Amino acid sequence: MNAATTILTSADANEKARQSNMLSPRFYTTDHEAFDRLSVEPLRAEWDAMMKEYEGDNNHDHFQRDATFMQELEACAPEWSPEMRQELLDFFVSSLTSEFSGCVLYNEIRKHVKNPDIKQMMTYMARDESRHAGFINMSLRDFDLGIELGKLKSDKPYTFFKPAHIIYATYLSEKIGYARYITIFRQLERHPEKRFHPIFRWFERWCNDEFRHGESFALIMRANPELLQGFNLVKIRFFLLAVYATMYVRDHRRPILHQAMGLEATSYDFEVFRITNEITQQVFPIALDIEHPDFKRGLDRLIEISDAFDAAKARGGLSGWLGQAWHGARALGTFGRLFLMPMKRQPLLEQPRMRPTW
């Protein structure tokens, strides 16, 4: 991660979106034929009801700015310190990249699968993510820092993930995305004076889209229960930890942004973990023990190691290279210890679908 990348020009913003590393959102490709073999038949009624919701498209008019957007922005922007402005731009670029990553992935699957259920679901989700990415891009364009999405699609490296891994990782990132946006929205609802950018007013209806995207993957997993058994539980454990840990380290690099909202990165992230753990009871028979003191200790250690890694990288030369290797090994060890912590067991909820009530 290059935390030090300062976004001053449109080229910087586009380069930041293109970077692929441990902490930045990635683009994915997968084996489309395996998606054809999935069946939603065991949950046909729930599936059809969900498709009807997508078809109803209750957010079709949501991602447009209202009359007061620019006035609010013009009132807020002069208050930002240069550091705050950087963190906000970094937040926009990484959020946009992650929204667009979903859009690209869902679109590719839609184009290649023959399974009509999966095709339909991917069409709706790509539609939503494209709106989300476009809406954030408007806020970058306010500063002449818009991302060229077509170029990003062709230039950013792609990572191959097996379909099962795509399902676990995407389910989690949709649900964690919901938990993040709703936590911010509720906080700013209580403290409107801390809303330092008008975009946060859009988060409530926005995160309902993410919640529904997560529901789609939840139904796929519940309808194909082999995805939730045997060795797959080890994979789920890995993805839970990878997604939680990445978020924790990344959020602690934007302390000013969280403070400005009246949220402190650690307590905000633990609230997001708590909500996500509650939601994942719909699919995962295991959960990370977020209350165990060793869990937080391990995550804090990962932040410290990640800072040391960056310092070594910035130092360069042989000592920088050795430093990176050493801190990389330490990160692996810490992640391994977190991975081996006992998991909490939980019975699956009887009803696979949930409502976004947080």
Binding site for Fe ion (CB under 5 A): 99, 129, 132, 174, 210, 213
CB of 2 to Fe ion, least distance (A): 25
CB of 118 to Fe ion, least distance (A): 16
11-to-18, 133, 144, 199, 225 alpha-carbon distances in Å: 10, 18, 10, 23, 46
For Fe ion, the closer CB: 117 or 210:
210
Q: Is the dihedral of CA 142, 143, 144, 150 positive or negative?
A: negative
CB 133 within 8 A of CB 99: yes
Q: Is the dihedral of CA 25, 31, 33, 38 positive or negative?
A: negative
How many angstroms from the chain centroid is the CA of residue 342?
25
For Fe ion, the closer CB: 99 or 251:
99
Give strand ranges (E) for 127-186.
158-160
Residue type for 229, please? Answer: Q
For Fe ion, the closer CB: 129 or 310:
129
CB of 59 to Fe ion, least distance (A): 10
How buried is 342 (Cβ within 10 angstroms: 0-12 exposed, 13-18 middle, 19+ buried)?
exposed
Question: For residue 158, what are the β-bridge partners?
Answer: 27
What's the residue count for the chain? Answer: 358
For Fe ion, the closer CB: 117 or 129:
129
Instruction: Give CA–CA dist 150/131, Å, rounded.
Output: 15
For Fe ion, the closer CB: 239 or 335:
239
CB of 333 to Fe ion, least distance (A): 33
CB of 138 to Fe ion, least distance (A): 15
CB of 67 to Fe ion, least distance (A): 25
Residue 291, both tokens: 């209350």
Instruction: Give CA–CA dist 11/13, Å, rounded.
Output: 5
CB of 99 to Fe ion, least distance (A): 5
Q: Is 210 in a helix, a strand, or coil?
A: helix
For Fe ion, the closer CB: 104 or 343:
104
For Fe ion, the closer CB: 5 or 59:
59
